[in-house]
Chain A
Amino acid sequence: MKTLIVEDDASLRKSLETAIRDLGGDPRGVGTARLASDALRESPPHLLIVDITLPDGDGLEILREARQAQPDLDAIVVTGSSAIDHAIEALRAGADDYLLKPLRPAQLDAVYKRVAERRRLELELDELRTELQETGRLGEMVGRSKAMQGVFESIRKVARTAAPVLISGASGSGKEVAARTIHRLSRRAGKPFVAFNCGAVSPTLIESELFGHERGSFTGADKKRVGYFEEANEGTLFLDEITEMSAELQVRLLRVLEEKSLRRVGGNQDIRVDVRLLSATNRDPEAALREGKLREDLYYRLNVFPLSLPPLKERREDVALLAEHFLREIDHQEKSGVRQFEPAAIELLKTRDWPGNVRELRNMVHRAYILTEGDTVRSETVRGLLSNGESKKTSRKTPPAIRKSGKTSQARR
């Protein structure tokens, strides 16, 4: 692991270099903040070990600079044992861990191995991401079109970070699937993924659903309830149809995001939450901003990384891959043994505009599956479904798999 050591004491710097080399690392040491900046630019490391106190600057500044240029960098700060406040400040500035001086070899060993192991897993995940992308899949997402390859590349990059993502796209274009994929490819993958649809719950209930409530806080609150924010602690919370949230609630959401703590409805205790927020809208986010559907301050908080999903008609070349993928998925559930499409059936599917997008295509494949006898979906079946316009009439009304009380789904792993 390429490691940059920034330590002003030359002898300690050399000793750290020797220790890191012995642990299997590839160290480079510098003694000043200026040299550290140069080294970060010339040869970006995987790991930065930086002393907080430097003769010509502040180690935390180096850390911030490095983090900005390289969000997936691992960083360890070194500080005197009498300066524990510095260590806390360093963790807030984005350090992954800290070491107290005088250094203890066992502590360095444990911290370095933890970072190295995380990095190894990260590389494995990266390889998996690339492999899936090459086969036209990324998590639950499917597509070989240029547009989707761009989306996959963005997801691959943003999944590694903790940045909030605002996903936009037409209804049925796979916003929740994209959010789930980001979660599954992130460091939070082992923690809960909680999805909540703000548009499917009455505005008066959203607050208690999101933040929870204490017993007796309002009529009907006969027991304490933990909100989705708390359920998603250490994991990811996906808020769909974010523009349907009232302005008042948007202010409250913003406060929770800024303070990383919340208060249940009727409660008087602040509860710390560590949640990565992914949000989505089927509106143009900037238009929602202009129309006052989304507060400007919240918009900038949510839209650190925008992700736009193309409608299916703009990636017709993915229709065959998607249809085959859905057929396999449906056969796995239904087990009727329908395994393939006749080539002409696929060609017919490619001619449609799919106003209900991927969701509509999936429903159409499911209907064709039900109507098929034997192992092959025939073009007559597809033609029949397309010509009677059934898909167009029903697809938009068909809800996604689970949609109860606004909570679209919830996965805990």
Chain B
Amino acid sequence: MGVEEVAGRSVEPAKLRRFLHDVSAPLSAVALNLETASRRAAKGEDPSPVLEVAQRELARCFELFERGRGELLGDREAEARGNQR
């Protein structure tokens, strides 16, 4: 299996794809809800409910990003430690 570089470290492409896939869902939701909020505001409607959804999705995105990044890089660190032993 080939490897790619993330932060100067090599990672498996399948894991990287999974990471991007996971993060892209809340990222999409943030973008869609911000657009909906902007449309509603332009129509004089209350944008706050969709802005709250966007905020939650943004938080989920950070959480998934941190978790994914940890898994991607953490695995390699563990592997490296294993090799040293």
Asked whether any CB of chain B lies closer than 8 Å to the CB of A80, the reply is yes
Q: Which residues does chain A contribute within 8 Å of B35, judged by CB atoms?
A: 19, 105-106, 109
| B31 near A105: Cβ-Cβ < 8 Å | yes
Which residues of chain B have C-beta atoms less than 8 A from A70's C-beta? none
- Cβ–Cβ contact B36 & A22, under 8 A: yes
A16 at the interface (CB under 8 A from B): yes
State which residues 8-45 of B face A: CB under 8 Å. 17, 20-21, 23-29, 31-36, 39-40
With a cutoff of 8 Å between Cβ atoms, the chain A residues found around residue B50 in the complex are 18
> With A and B bound together, what is the CA distance between A19 and B27 in angstroms?
15
Instruction: Please tell me if the beta carbons of A11 and B25 are within 8 angstroms of each other in the complex.
Output: yes
In the complex, residue of chain B having the shortest beta-carbon distance to the beta carbon of A23? B39
Query: Are B21 and A12 closer than 8 Å at their CB atoms?
Result: no
A102 to B28, CA, bound (A): 5
Other-chain contact of B28, A18, A22, A82, A101 (Cβ < 8 Å): A101
Partner among A11, A19, A80, A106 whose Cβ is within 8 Å of the Cβ of B21: A80
Query: Footprint of B on A, CB under 8 Å?
Result: 9, 11-12, 14-16, 18-19, 22, 53, 80-83, 101-106, 108-109
What 13 additional pairs, Cβ within 8 angstroms, besides A15-B53, A101-B25? A9-B25, A9-B26, A11-B53, A11-B60, A15-B28, A19-B32, A22-B39, A80-B21, A81-B20, A81-B24, A82-B17, A102-B31, A106-B35
Q: List 16 A-B contacts (CB under 8 A).
A: A11-B26, A11-B29, A12-B26, A12-B32, A19-B32, A53-B21, A80-B24, A82-B20, A101-B24, A101-B27, A102-B27, A103-B32, A105-B31, A105-B35, A108-B32, A109-B35
| B residues whose Cβ falls under 8 Å from a Cβ of A | 17, 20-21, 23-29, 31-36, 39-40, 50, 53, 56-57, 60
